[in-house]
Amino acid sequence: MSKKKIIPSSAKQEFIFQKKNYLFMGIGLACITLGFILMSGGGTDDPNVFNPEIFNFRRIRLAPTLVLIGLGIEVYAILLNPHKTKN
């Protein structure tokens, strides 16, 4: 027979992430979403017509940079320790 472990009711369980982590996760998610929104569009309905708008600054440089910045913010939010105090 196995013994069941009894957890005292006074033991307080904490979440892994705190409010600060979720704040940075939201900011990162917003950056990623904005980057994908900026990447969209620029197509054409007729495949025989070339649309040079797909190669503009917004779709080639700005939007992928925003997505990468958002991913970096997400990594920072996961690794952030909100319990760390300065001495």
**Closest alpha carbon to 32 in 73, 61, 3, 60:** 73
Q: 33 pLDDT band (50/70/90 cuts)?
A: very high
Contact 54, 42 (CB under 8 A): yes
In tens, the pLDDT along 14-29 reads 788 899 999 999 999 9
**Closest alpha carbon to 38 in 69, 15, 65, 17:** 65
The dihedral sign for the CA sequence 27, 28, 31, 37? negative
In tens, the pLDDT along 40-77 reads 977 777 888 888 888 899 999 999 999 999 999 999 99
The whole-model pTM stands at 0.76
